[in-house]
Amino acid sequence: MQTTHSSPLRWLVALLLTLSLFPAFAAKPLDETESLDADAQTAALVVRRLARDDLEAYHRIDVKVVDGRAVLTGTARTRQGLDAIVREVGKVPGVRSVEEHVKVEPTP
């Protein structure tokens, strides 16, 4: 004898299938605040990298990260030191490109 009501097992299976597919539909791209958080974390990593003993004495640089682009401003003592800084910043995870607006000013 066939009933017109669905069995509880069928409902449970349908519910589980629906819930297993839901995360794929609920996923969304990074919103602006999540991007800002990632940029802030990347900037903190850059600052930590620049604080290393072998680089710290040769610069006064501020860092801002926007959408993975590290923008460097400030001063460096030598061009070689600045080149080393730019290379190191480029190695930091999360940095896609480096834009430097740094003046080379040797100390007297």
Give the CATH number of the domain where residue 65 resides.
3.30.1340.30
- 32 pLDDT higher than 60: no
* Domain that includes residue 81, residue range: 32-104
Looking at the structure of the chain, the number of domains it has is: 1
Say what the pTM is.
0.63
Residue 23 within a domain: no
**What span, in angstroms and rounded, lies between the C-alpha atoms of 106 and 108?**
6
pLDDT of residue 52: 78
Q: What percent of the chain has pLDDT over 90?
A: 36
Q: Cβ distance 49 to 56 under 8 Å? A: no
Residue with the two structure tokens 């003592």: 77
Task: Provide the pLDDT for residue 29.
Answer: 53
Half-sphere exposure of 8 (CA within 13 A, CB side): 0
In a domain, 22, yes or no: no
Task: Note whether residue 66 is domain-resident.
Answer: yes
Beta bridge partners of 3: none
- 39 within domain boundaries: yes
Please check the confidence at residue 12 and state whether its pLDDT lies above 60: yes
Q: Of 18-32, 49-63, 73-87, which one has max mean pLDDT?
A: 73-87
